Amino acid sequence: MRLKGKSTIVTGGSSGIGRAIALKFANEGARVAILDIRKESKLEKESPSTIEIINNKGGKGDFYKVDLCNKEEVESALNSILNSYQEIDILVNNAGIFIRNSITKVSDEEWEKVINTNLRSYFYTTRKIIPHMVENRSGKIINMSSIHGILGTGSALTYCTTKGAINNFTKQLAVDYSEYGININAINPGTIKTAMSKPFRETPEILKEYKESTLLPRLGETEDVADAALFLASEESDFITGHCLVVDGGWTAR
């Protein structure tokens, strides 16, 4: 097991990519704490919760109901985790939302909601956990970004803005904390088959764009991203930091 005995936090682990990462880490021997607004995804209610799957398989998982945009709730949950786990080896900042909008149509409320969820929550969790990694002089932080932090896409101003910020957030943290033995990287997925992406990825326009732009002839699966996260969380990536790992089937290669 590649993560045996490791203590891990995954934000947004109840659904989609976060769910796949949490399950993958648990299968590899990690104890996984999931921070999310709900235990079961409202988009995937037909499935058992991530925590139920982990624990039913004999793994070790804990769920913390948290509004990740709320600093007090985040700090309270992380204090509880640190008291229980004693130390955190791996932090995966994954929680995120997608809202289509443009500069002339986005409301102040939409702007704040996406910024708070996709970026500010990463700041809250990382600021709380990184001093403990510094003390231990080890740790892995993985930030979920997107190829749309590198390339623009149609009418997704707030999403692209936050993902671009995550890329440089990751690089600067790597610069600041490499001397403490902490590896800090990002993953930039392309279009991945999740319940959140279903409303727009199945439109004829998106499917046509994907077929024309992607070198590998399929949409990405959550397992594709989870495999990348496992690599970055494992000892196999000990000489990698400040990197944004693209998992997009070749979209950005053209």
Q: Which of 217, 226, 233, 224 is closest to 184 using CA atoms?
A: 233
Neighbour tally for 233: CB within 10 Å:
27
The answer to whether 112 and 162 are in contact (CB under 8 A) is: no
| Integer Cα distance of 244 and 254 in angstroms | 17
159 as an active site residue: the answer is yes
The distance from CA 107 to its chain's CA centroid, rounded to whole angstroms, is 25
The distance from CA 223 to its chain's CA centroid, rounded to whole angstroms, is 13
| Integer Cα distance of 7 and 28 in angstroms | 11
Q: Which residues contact 138 (CB under 8 A, 6 or more apart)?
A: 89, 180, 181, 182
Q: Name the active-site residue from 64, 122, 124, 159.
A: 159
Catalytic residue numbers?
159
